[in-house]
Structure 1
């Protein structure tokens, strides 16, 4: 139900395609996320499958991925790539249409920037799974092969029987998040600044209460946040200058998602201290130094930053 999903459906309908929408249901979908999804189905008139995974399995998988990799989003990304791909193979859907090509929009090797297809090899390289496969998690937190079956990609044998074409829409049409938002709004998509979870855009990352954690954990590992992604894209779009982006960053600050961290810990049945102690284990000491009991990043993009005490 996000603005890019609306744009994908709108663009596909304008080109005469019959659409089956497939979504993975996050264990913490927001109210605005559900409303936008309902409106997409109603106003754009599409068939839709909303795939829910056993919340007990999701809980154990997310806990394992967080404790072992410092990442809450591994199960999410496995699900959003595996479920549509597998269903298309099983239902003999000839064409899968994804959104933007991340390597084209955010940077990557030239061959991958120019690629038009999202296949199993792409998912292995760029699927945001920390270089892990579903099979790597069998046996962790008592997760079984059957438990993790929703995260299974189609096998080589499956694809020999039927192999859907799987493409990036952004490889064929210019991708602009603001234009996508405007197009979606004309048909019924809605958002508000109060819906914003992270970053600087009020129309993105609003569908799940846990998405802010996925982006926040980049801070300790890599020294940047979701707002860096947003502002970098706006610079490339020519909407703002680098100077304006830095000023925006200084004004916004860290954006610590305290409320969503509490939600996550409630879902995990863990104290909030568990989240912070686990996060601290993944702090990248190659970029962070501790001065007078305060963690800092030397050479940070701005001197106007409120560094937190350790």
Structure 2
């Protein structure tokens, strides 16, 4: 195994699951590609985007110009703002029901489609199949979020083929933003290969079928990517706005909070309260599994991003990581009830996926963490701050805190 080396600027290492390299100065590829944001001519890049989307504009004005995937969190508001209010396109919004919905996420999604006056399609996969898939992926490779990632990345493509709307508009490319997998100037687009290798952890839907499992064809067919002939007949392509707009999630969310009514909520496991307010599990159990498998959690992603944008020093960021990364889970009981497992059984399954590079078990039932935040040789000491993020609401919004399986609207 190659030695674990840490970037001298951010907190990512050469063991990052997306792949990462360090240059002779000890700076990672993600930080180097981020530097492009301060030297590229973003006005010129916006004009390139305008030219790119122009051929897809409906001549009659009565058809959809593009497909835009959205949720009740993340960058959805800003993406729709750019597509509809700045580019003047008529998007069809699509969303995959992940079944881990918060009341705040349902509110944000309702406000999004109402405020921007857009049509929306919601995919609701049979909840029995979703539970079966979640049990299988949790046991096989330690992911309770595979079905969410699979659905969120394939339903827009399926809709593009079904409605014959070739252009899909995504936000930022994760591989570019985190590890510098590409340059902004490469203008990479969405591919089946990237979805499988990174979004789906290398497992296509058919890979989940096994003689030793309960999944059948009826459970997984809706997660299949359309075949090449179907894609080519429509000319489907998925572009990333982050190649043409200087992507800054904190600034973008705050703009949408001020102008379009986006609401946020605090999390115990990160200082960033803007991104994942639509889901109880992403910043909770899913985040815990990430820590088990990779030795770091989402707060490290947030801290590294804020270092790159110059809003946190390395020492301040490390203090935030140490404060948040092992915070107790807040919503695990909801998952137990939904999936039909008890706490001890779930913990046993999760423990099977602890990475021995970061976790040691000196005795049964006791684990010691040797994670990236404790190994970091470049960090100093500093008091943790709130990094300038602010919560405007709560995930439950006065409700009972259960998963909202499906919301048709919000009062």
Q: Please, what TM-score do these two structures have when normalized by structure 1?
A: 0.90
For the Cα contact (< 8 Å) 1:209–1:260, is it kept in 2? yes
Counterpart CA distance in 1 for 2:256 and 2:380 is 38
Asked if 1:151 corresponds to 2:223, the answer is yes
Asked if 1:54 corresponds to 2:126, the answer is yes
Largest Rg, 1 or 2: 2
**Counterpart in the other structure of 1:307:** none
**Counterpart in the other structure of 1:295:** 368
Q: CA deviation at 1:124?
A: 2.1
Residues 1:231 and 1:154: Cα distance change in structure 2 (over 3 Å):
same
For the Cα contact (< 8 Å) 1:197–1:209, is it kept in 2? no
Counterpart CA distance in 2 for 1:113 and 1:271 is 49
Counterpart CA distance in 1 for 2:138 and 2:303 is 27
Among 184, 189, 192, the alignment partner of 2:256 is: 184
For the Cα contact (< 8 Å) 2:197–2:203, is it kept in 1? no
Counterpart CA distance in 1 for 2:158 and 2:265 is 34
Residues 1:10 and 1:112: Cα distance change in structure 2 (over 3 Å):
closer
Q: CA deviation at 1:290?
A: 3.7
Aligned to 1:142, the other structure's residue is in SS state coil
Q: CA deviation at 1:46?
A: 0.4
Aligned to 1:245, the other structure's residue is in SS state helix
For the Cα contact (< 8 Å) 2:171–2:240, is it kept in 1? yes
| Number of aligned residue pairs | 300
Q: CA deviation at 1:162?
A: 1.3
Q: CA deviation at 1:219?
A: 1.1
Q: Which runs of 5+ in 1 are unaligned?
A: 305-310
Counterpart CA distance in 2 for 1:294 and 1:157 is 50
Residues 1:43 and 1:155: Cα distance change in structure 2 (over 3 Å):
same
Please, what is the CA RMSD of the aligned residues? 2.1
Asked if 1:280 corresponds to 2:351, the answer is yes
Among 61, 82, 86, the alignment partner of 2:158 is: 86
Out of 144-153 and 65-74, give the one that drifted further.
144-153
Counterpart CA distance in 1 for 2:356 and 2:185 is 31
Per-residue CA distance 1:109-166 (angstroms, 9 max, x = gap): 3469834301212212222x12110111134642222321221111112113212121
Counterpart CA distance in 1 for 2:148 and 2:185 is 24
Counterpart CA distance in 2 for 1:27 and 1:42 is 22
Among 48, 55, 65, the alignment partner of 2:137 is: 65
Per-residue CA distance 1:80-113 (angstroms, 9 max, x = gap): 0110111111111121011111122101434698
Q: CA deviation at 1:253?
A: 4.7
Counterpart CA distance in 1 for 2:268 and 2:118 is 28
Per-residue CA distance 1:18-76 (angstroms, 9 max, x = gap): 11000001212100000000000111110101111111000000010001101111111
Q: Which runs of 5+ in 2 are unaligned?
A: 1-71, 382-411
For the Cα contact (< 8 Å) 2:77–2:256, is it kept in 1? yes
For the Cα contact (< 8 Å) 2:168–2:236, is it kept in 1? yes
Aligned to 2:121, the other structure's residue is in SS state strand
Q: CA deviation at 1:198?
A: 3.8
Counterpart CA distance in 1 for 2:88 and 2:103 is 31
Q: How does 1:24-35 map to 2 (within 5 A)?
A: 24-35=96-107
**Counterpart in the other structure of 2:9:** none
Counterpart CA distance in 1 for 2:185 and 2:328 is 32
Aligned to 2:203, the other structure's residue is in SS state coil
Per-residue CA distance 1:168-192 (angstroms, 9 max, x = gap): 1111111111122022211111123
Counterpart CA distance in 1 for 2:216 and 2:320 is 46
Q: CA deviation at 1:255?
A: 1.9
Counterpart CA distance in 1 for 2:184 and 2:80 is 24
The structure where helix makes up a greater share of residues is 1
After superposing on structure 2, the runs of 4+ consecutive aligned residues of structure 1 that deviate more than 4 Å are 291-294
Counterpart CA distance in 2 for 1:77 and 1:113 is 26
Per-residue CA distance 1:220-271 (angstroms, 9 max, x = gap): 11111111111110001111100111122233351232x3221111111111
For the Cα contact (< 8 Å) 1:97–1:167, is it kept in 2? yes
Aligned to 1:276, the other structure's residue is in SS state helix
